[in-house]
């Protein structure tokens, strides 16, 4: 086995990623003109395309490629009893300390032990308050009065929407155990520490799948889902030496979990959680049975109508965190010339073509002599099959660089030869190689390239 990386050694920094994300329209600070809103971010034209493609790829992996997994889109606002049953009202807390001098707020589990023991601020040396528990759920009110009767929470995870619908889905879709329910959606947490760009935010999106299994088969399914989720990142072309497993120790395990592994990624700021795979036992369904009074047992009609509360294996990935990971993973700086100026280097996002916001950029060599019209015409043909962009402004080299920085895997250039023999130049982002392709074969050629794409080491 290769030795595990200890430190990030690539060209990215969080500052570079944040700046590129803004420059190219991936991610903007929320409400920036008012000074920004902490813990919230807006996804620009490229960001929403990237996010949609990651979501579509995950959805396909989970539902289209698994006969026994179906989808759901549950409401963000749920009956408040849900969160009592799930344990979130009681247990979903972070330990919090404040510095009495500089007023900085810390998560007690994120500051050095000696500071906690001496009650000294790691920033200014001032005195820290006692540790207190802080519930991460956002509360609001439904209806016209702000009293306890109307108290409602913004969901802190999408999972509970699945559990409360599990019986509906068994009945409507005749699901038989083992089966899964997948969901992508917003979740909200009143996070105390939100640094590192979009890594930990108050509003974010999750891609969760809950797999319902017979008790006693849970360990086997847990291991199976660990394998499947690892393979998912491999297929996306992620640098596999930047991924590792982290098993939760007894002090980390969530109140519902029997076993839990995180897939961690080596971000520029170090190893951090990307996704969790949890054996949630029958905790959630047992609690919802208790709190709702509804019988949530599964009736095994193929097995003498045996009744049991299923165990749940959960795979829980952050969509917005995956987006950050994929930008960091794709980020590269490459020396492409030796002229001694800024143009010697290019910044390139080596996204897998299935998630790249733009798949093909159409670039006419010149605007004149009908080349722009011809390029638009070819682009219109490609639009049916691919996300395209069009750029006729500036020198061709500059335009290639702009597309490299946005992660566009293919550029097509239309020139005078196109008018003569109907061929175009297809330029590959990663190798910068250029080949001539007959216009009539272009769509199929790009489709094949996407299918056989392998990221260069």
Name the site residues for ligand GAP (rule: CB under 6 A).
157, 159, 189, 191, 200-201, 204, 206, 208, 273-276, 314, 316-318, 320-321
Pick the closer one to ligand GAP by CB: 189 or 399. 189
Pick the closer one to ligand GAP by CB: 79 or 246. 246
Pick the closer one to ligand GAP by CB: 274 or 328. 274
Q: How far is the CB of 390 from ligand GAP (least distance, A)?
A: 34
Q: How far is the CB of 369 from ligand GAP (least distance, A)?
A: 51
Q: Please state the φ and ψ torsions of residue 308, each to the nearest 5 degrees.
A: -160, 160
Pick the closer one to ligand GAP by CB: 274 or 296. 274
Q: How far is the CB of 192 from ligand GAP (least distance, A)?
A: 10
Question: Which residue has tokens 């620009």?
Answer: 44
Q: How far is the CB of 317 from ligand GAP (least distance, A)?
A: 5
Pick the closer one to ligand GAP by CB: 254 or 336. 254
Q: How far is the CB of 335 from ligand GAP (least distance, A)?
A: 34
CA 58 to chain centre: 9
Cα separation, 57 vs 182, in Å, equals: 13
Cα separation, 426 vs 353, in Å, equals: 15
Pick the closer one to ligand GAP by CB: 159 or 182. 159
Q: Please identify the residue of the shown chain whose CB is closest to the bound ligand GAP.
A: 318
Pick the closer one to ligand GAP by CB: 191 or 449. 191
**Residue whose C-alpha is closest to residue 400's, from 377, 373, 429:** 429
Q: How far is the CB of 160 from ligand GAP (least distance, A)?
A: 8
Pick the closer one to ligand GAP by CB: 49 or 314. 314
Q: How many CA atoms lie within 13 A of 58 on its CB side?
A: 29
Q: Is the dihedral of CA 415, 421, 422, 423 positive or negative?
A: negative
Q: How far is the CB of 357 from ligand GAP (least distance, A)?
A: 20
Q: How far is the CB of 139 from ligand GAP (least distance, A)?
A: 17
Pick the closer one to ligand GAP by CB: 166 or 400. 166
Q: How far is the CB of 101 from ligand GAP (least distance, A)?
A: 28
Q: Please state the φ and ψ torsions of residue 446, each to the nearest 5 degrees.
A: -65, -40
């Amino acid at each position: 086995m290769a030795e595990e990386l200890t430190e990030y050694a690539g060209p990215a920094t969080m500052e570079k990623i944040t700046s590129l994300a803004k420059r190219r329209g991936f991610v903007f600070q929320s409400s920036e003109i008012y000074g920004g809103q902490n813990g919230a971010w807006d996804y620009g034209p490229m960001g929403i395309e990237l996010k949609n493609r990651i979501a579509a790829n995950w959805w396909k992996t989970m539902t289209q490629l698994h006969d026994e997994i179906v989808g759901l889109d549950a409401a963000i606002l749920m009956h408040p009893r849900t969160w009592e049953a799930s344990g979130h009202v009681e247990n979903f807390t972070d330990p919090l300390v404040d510095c009495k001098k500089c007023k900085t707020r810390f998560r007690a589990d994120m500051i050095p032990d000696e500071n906690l023991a001496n009650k000294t601020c790691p920033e200014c040396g001032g005195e820290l308050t006692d540790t207190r528990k802080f519930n991460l759920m956002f509360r609001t009110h439904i209806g016209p009065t702000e009293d306890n009767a109307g108290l409602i929470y913004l969901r802190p995870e999408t999972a509970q929407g699945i559990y409360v619908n599990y019986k509906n889905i068994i009945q409507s879709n005749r699901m038989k155990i083992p089966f899964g329910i997948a969901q992508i959606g917003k979740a909200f947490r009143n996070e105390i520490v939100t640094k590192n760009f979009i890594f930990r935010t108050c509003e974010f999106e999750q891609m969760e799948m809950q797999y319902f299994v017979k008790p006693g088969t849970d360990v086997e399914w847990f291991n199976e889902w660990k394998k499947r989720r690892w393979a998912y990142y491999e297929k996306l072309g992620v640098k596999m030496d930047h991924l590792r497993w982290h098993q939760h120790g007894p002090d980390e395990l969530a109140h519902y979990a029997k076993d839990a592994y995180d897939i961690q990624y080596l971000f520029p700021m170090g190893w951090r959680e990307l996704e969790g795979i949890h054996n949630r036992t029958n905790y959630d369904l047992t609690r919802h049975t208790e709190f709702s009074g509804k019988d949530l047992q599964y009736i095994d009609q193929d097995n003498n109508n045996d009744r049991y509360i299923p165990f749940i294996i959960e795979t829980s990935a952050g969509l917005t965190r995956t987006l950050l990971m994929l930008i960091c993973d794709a980020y590269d700086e490459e020396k492409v010339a030796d002229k001694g100026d800024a143009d010697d280097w290019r910044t390139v996002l080596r996204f897998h073509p299935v998630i790249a916001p733009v798949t093909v950029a159409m670039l006419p060599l010149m605007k004149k002599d009908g080349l722009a019209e011809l390029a638009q015409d070819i682009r219109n043909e490609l639009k049916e099959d691919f996300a395209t962009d069009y750029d006729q402004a500036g020198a061709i080299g500059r335009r290639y660089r702009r597309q490299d920085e946005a992660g566009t895997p293919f550029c097509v250039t239309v020139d005078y030869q196109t008018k003569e023999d109907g061929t175009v130049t297809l330029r590959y982002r990663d190798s910068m190689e250029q080949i001539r392709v007959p216009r009539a074969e272009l769509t199929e050629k790009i489709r094949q390239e996407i299918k056989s794409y392998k990221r260069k080491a």
